[in-house]
Structure 1
Amino acid sequence: MKNPVKQQIECNNLPILSSQDRGWENILVEQFQHPAGEGRTCYTKEHAICISLAPRPVRLLQNKGGKVYAGLYGKGDISITPAETAFFARWDSEDRFVQIRISSNFLQNIARETLDTNPDCLEVISEFKTRDPQIESIGMMLLSELQENLGGKLYIESLVNVLAVNLLRQYSTTQPRLAIYEGGLNEPQLLQVLEYINEYLEREIKLADLARLLDMSQFHFSYLFKRSLGIPPYQYLLQQRIERAKQLLKQKERSIMDIALECGFNSHSHLSKQFRQFTSMTPKVYRANQSNTH
């Protein structure tokens, strides 16, 4: 029979929330809340980023690959552990944090496609305690999406690409530079992308699908798209879905559930949440208002 204390520790190591079953590619995002304790791990194919959510600073003893750090971690403090690095930690009070594990193969692909760097020369640097507003912001957006599930895969993929580039530029041995692109997409390129989005609005459109249309990296596509329209691809996609929903809601015989699916939302509630964000009203109220104006 298992030792009851050990069994309790193992149970407490389970995440509160996890993206494991969300279909997110190249990344795993999990939210944890642990009582005082200790733990050890080693991820062979993923780099791990931990962002503290602790409302009060927590004293931590950490050992990464033989290097030791002891000190207080407060909300927003970040720890980075490269793949294949043995990690041990002991904390003396309740700890809360979000852990982001990003595929090392994906990071290599980003280095090759986006930064024109030999991925074999890249090595992610271990960090015990650091502050990085950009990575913290991306982490909080990923956590929010984990909690709310509103943005969709195009949104997640955009965040993952930006996170990967930041990780490579700030926390790798070579610290490669990002090529700077002037202007945005040219008119034929932009029209090709917008027509594709319009035609497949009801489908799960991926960032890779859009970037492949123009034969460029996902990061550069996102950057140039935003330069062209002033908003990122995921936001444009969401706007178009809401606009189509508005048109379909004028057809009184159509159920809101059917409209949600036809516009690329996964449920009635998913459409309602996004619709309310854009219009400050639910689809049902919007439909009623349309009836009152005619």
Structure 2
Amino acid sequence: MRKLSRNCGGMVNCSFLHALKPMASASNPAAAEELSRILNTAPPLDPQAYRGDVRLTTRFSHGAVCGQVLPMNEHVVMTYYGASQLYTWRDGRRHSNGVKRPGMLTLIPRGHEAHWEVAGNVEVSHVYLSDAQLQSCAATLGSDLPDLQFEDRISFDDPVASRLIQVLAQEAENPLEHSRLFADQAIELLCLHLVRSHVAAGMRAVRDMLPGLQPWQLRRLRDYVHERLDQDLQLDELAAVVGLSRFHFCVAFKRAAGQSPYAWIVHLRMEKARELLAVRRLSICQVALEVGYQTPSAFASAFRRTQGMTPSAFRAVVRPA
């Protein structure tokens, strides 16, 4: 593979690399801070931090890279878009050359240091996962599981994680109604997938461990949600209703109901909306507010997507209740 050192622009001497050892401390920089330095551009962060201090970026571009990435306080997961680019990576023990292609994934564990060279412009989006968030996800899968220990993985294929990161970047760029609930679930799925697929030895036990919700738990949830369809419901409060951690709740709910909590709540909102539209006492704007949508356009979009017609068209054809 051809040398990429001409892209360094004097940043570092790319022909000389020290042995770099994984390390982690409270003094390590935040991922966004360190990547701003090495990329020479600030990753465009979603202004809100999610549970466990998880941070998202929108899709963005940066130029060629040649330098030493210092240990960071978060795990960094990124996916690629746009043109393919050559890369070289070394951490003193290992060396990798290859091509970054659209849809590929890179995982940089918390506290790891390495030297990077990337040719040309790169289009990416990032997720910064706190170690506490990932350890919390793992803890819900079994008390005897060891602490997570990720390995650096560079430009590899993982369609599931890549698609989840793309979805999160879209939510960060253009948040829609109930975006927080949707993003929280996507983050939980990403954490579960990473725990199952990309940690060092010791996590093979993650399979068929969590039971689904019991019928009484589903009934309690339905009653709780029905009374609050006009509110922006959060995963934490739904999990608390049935006495589970948020991570356990997401897995157990999907196993019992065959769909995500987000999709289930949308179904309940549309069920109530059809009932209110048939009664005809409320305007469409009022119906939207009653089922948790702050604007008629957001309600109309969700209704058309799930029911195959607009609220106005439904009201025109349905027999008055």
Structure 2 residue aligned with 1:220, among 239, 244, 248? 248
Q: Which amino acid aligns with 1:194?
A: R
Task: Tell me the equivalent position of 1:6.
Answer: none
Q: Which amino acid aligns with 2:110?
A: A
Task: Determine if contact 1:122/1:174 at 8 Å carries over to the other structure.
Answer: no
Structure 1 residue aligned with 2:190, among 142, 147, 163? 163
| 2:157 equivalent to 1:131 | yes
Task: Tell me the equivalent position of 2:60.
Answer: 33
Within 5 A, what are the aligned runs for 1:200-239?
A: 200-239=228-267
Check 1:86–1:183 CA distance in 2 against 1; reply closer, same or farther (3 A cut): closer
Check 1:86–1:129 CA distance in 2 against 1; reply closer, same or farther (3 A cut): same
Alpha carbon RMSD of aligned pairs, Å? 3.1
Structure with the bigger percentage of helix: 1
Check 1:14–1:286 CA distance in 2 against 1; reply closer, same or farther (3 A cut): farther
* Separation (CA, whole Å) in 1 of partners of 2:50 and 2:277: 31
* Separation (CA, whole Å) in 2 of partners of 1:247 and 1:210: 24
Task: Determine if contact 1:257/1:268 at 8 Å carries over to the other structure.
Answer: yes
Structure 2 residue aligned with 1:79, among 81, 106, 123? 106
Task: Determine if contact 1:125/1:171 at 8 Å carries over to the other structure.
Answer: yes
* Separation (CA, whole Å) in 1 of partners of 2:59 and 2:260: 30
Task: Determine if contact 2:141/2:209 at 8 Å carries over to the other structure.
Answer: no
* Separation (CA, whole Å) in 1 of partners of 2:162 and 2:190: 10
Task: Determine if contact 2:210/2:251 at 8 Å carries over to the other structure.
Answer: no
Range with greater deviation from structure 2 (271-280 or 180-189): 180-189
* Separation (CA, whole Å) in 2 of partners of 1:39 and 1:268: 49
Q: What percent of counterpart residues are identical?
A: 22
Check 1:61–1:112 CA distance in 2 against 1; reply closer, same or farther (3 A cut): same
Check 1:240–1:43 CA distance in 2 against 1; reply closer, same or farther (3 A cut): farther
Check 1:49–1:248 CA distance in 2 against 1; reply closer, same or farther (3 A cut): same
Cα displacement (A) at 1:127: 1.0
CA deviations on 1:232-279 (whole Å, 9 max, x unpaired) are 211110111122222333465634444333312243332222112102
Classify the secondary structure of the residue corresponding to 2:96.
Answer: strand
> Which structure 2 segments of 5+ residues have no match?
1-35
| 2:268 equivalent to 1:240 | yes
Cα displacement (A) at 1:114: 2.3
Check 1:256–1:187 CA distance in 2 against 1; reply closer, same or farther (3 A cut): same
Compute the TM-score of the two structures, normalised by the length of structure 2: 0.74
Classify the secondary structure of the residue corresponding to 1:114.
Answer: coil
Paired positions, count? 281
> Which structure 1 segments of 5+ residues have no match?
1-8
* Separation (CA, whole Å) in 2 of partners of 1:39 and 1:253: 65
Within 5 A, what are the aligned runs for 1:1-294?
A: 13-15=41-43, 18-21=45-48, 24-26=50-52, 27-34=54-61, 36-38=63-65, 42=70, 44-54=72-82, 56-63=83-90, 68-86=95-113, 89-117=116-144, 121-150=147-176, 152-176=179-203, 177-178=205-206, 180-181=208-209, 184-250=212-278, 252=280, 254-290=282-318, 293=319
Check 1:139–1:215 CA distance in 2 against 1; reply closer, same or farther (3 A cut): same
Cα displacement (A) at 1:169: 2.4
Task: Determine if contact 1:38/1:88 at 8 Å carries over to the other structure.
Answer: no
Check 1:159–1:78 CA distance in 2 against 1; reply closer, same or farther (3 A cut): same
* Separation (CA, whole Å) in 2 of partners of 1:38 and 1:174: 31
Classify the secondary structure of the residue corresponding to 2:243.
Answer: coil
Q: Which amino acid aligns with 1:283?
A: P
Range with greater deviation from structure 2 (223-232 or 236-245): 223-232
Classify the secondary structure of the residue corresponding to 1:204.
Answer: coil
Q: Which amino acid aligns with 1:114?
A: L
Compute the TM-score of the two structures, normalised by the length of structure 1: 0.80
Larger radius of gyration: 2
Q: Which amino acid aligns with 2:190?
A: L
